[in-house]
Structure 1
Amino acid sequence: MARFVTWEDEVLRLSPPLDSCPALVLNADFRPLSYFPLSLWSWQDTVKAVFLDRVNILSHYDQTVRSPNFEMRLPSVISLKEYVQATRRPAFTRFNVFLRDSFTCQYCGTGFPTHELTFDHVIPRSRGGRTTWDNVLTACSACNLRKGDKLCRECGMHPRLEPFQPSAFELQENGRQFPPNFLHESWRDYLYWDSELDS
């Protein structure tokens, strides 16, 4: 038996899936909680936060969610009602080291995807060097292998920047160099990137 296509079927076919409708999350001062990765919540977390009255809705998608007795346009931009203080001392992680160094090998100056980067101990561990902010920097595999367990002066490889402990603000600023591939148009008024956005 042939099935007739209704207008509801057509709307569902043309509507983006709900999972492609995350909300941009801003702090109470209307700045993103983070730039890299961009602070996004799933539509489920966003709807829950709206019901708990923890956020203000600043912009919407055209997409709507429904229950038997409720209908709501999905928020595309929300701001927290209570200000969340950024940590002053970011965690020492491999990702944060790469972000501090702008995903660039500090020896050859080439940028790489995360999976092609390693980190190098300026003073090798075999010589008493520690795994700390001020002794670790981003390196590509080739430079890391070339340097090995030598000191910089022994191999003639000197880092472009001396390693240091960044503040949360410095990591945020570095994150602004890397806009994500997808930006909903409703987010653009709240994001300020260092690189030019496609129109």
Structure 2
Amino acid sequence: MTVHFHATASPEACPALVLNADFRPLSYYPLSLWSWQDAIKAVFLDRVNIVSNYDKAVRSPSFEMLLPSVVSLKTYIKPSRHPAFTRFNVFLRDRFSCQYCGSRQDLTFDHVTPRSKGGMTTWENVVAACSSCNLRKSDRLPGEARMWPAHKPYQPTVNDLHQNGRLFPPNYLHDSWMDYLYWDSELEP
């Protein structure tokens, strides 16, 4: 089937927010989004329910469909309790700031106990650090360098990362997504 998109807008500007079967986003950061093609394919394969649509449609000679802006999975996916140990997730846990000086520029990561002194590359020993602090600390222990992390490194839960991810929303949030992104946030009086 050949699908034509209405000429007034690009389909790439219409991603679909993907919710789990309990109507929570699969992920907050990065936000769980599918391209319009993947969303429509999932609809046709009967894997999702359409929760909300854009005002834009795709058409073929015999078919027309509004593009989904929010879809929910029909089958619940149990979220992992512990996120993968990745550079990005370390930065997210540490809120994209150097744990020694607070800078948000030129981030890398630092072993609190250097590997040369037996430190491991684990959640409990790695923190976000700017390049200059990392160079200044070098392969010394915090006491030797007189540099201590602002927060003790720890293994975050998926919920910890979701909470931190909410502090860094993506550049584009469609109005139809708002009811599903922050529904468990505290309400203003």
Asked if these proteins are the same fold (TM beyond 0.5), I'd say: yes
Shift of 1:186: 1.1
Amino acid at match of 1:109: G
Shift of 1:165: 0.7
**Residue 94 (structure 1) aligns with:** 87
Distance 1:70 1:168 in 2: 41
Amino acid at match of 1:184: H
Shift of 1:146: 0.6
- Residues 63-82 of structure 1 aligned to structure 2 (within 5 Å): 63-82=56-75
Distance 1:108 1:97 in 2: 16
**Residue 52 (structure 2) aligns with:** 59
**Residue 143 (structure 2) aligns with:** 153
Consecutive unaligned residues in structure 2, runs of 5 or more: 1-5
Amino acid at match of 1:20: A
Distance 2:103 2:109 in 1: 14
**Residue 169 (structure 1) aligns with:** 159
Shift of 1:111: 2.7
RMSD over aligned CA atoms reads: 1.3
- Residues 1-199 of structure 1 aligned to structure 2 (within 5 Å): 12=7, 15-112=8-105, 116-192=106-182
Give the number of aligned pairs. 179
Distance 1:35 1:147 in 2: 33
Q: Residue 124 of structure 2 aligns to a residue in which SS?
A: helix
TM-score of the two chains, using structure 2 as the length reference: 0.91
Q: Residue 45 of structure 1 aligns to a residue in which SS?
A: helix
Distance 1:87 1:158 in 2: 31
Give deviations 1:145-190, integer Å, cap 9, x for gaps: 1100110001110111111111111111111111111111111111
**Residue 5 (structure 1) aligns with:** none
- Who wins on radius of gyration, i.e. which is larger? 1
Distance 2:158 2:132 in 1: 30
Shift of 1:63: 1.1
Give deviations 1:112-159, integer Å, cap 9, x for gaps: 4xxx21000001111111111111000001110110011000111011
Shift of 1:88: 1.0
TM-score of the two chains, using structure 1 as the length reference: 0.86
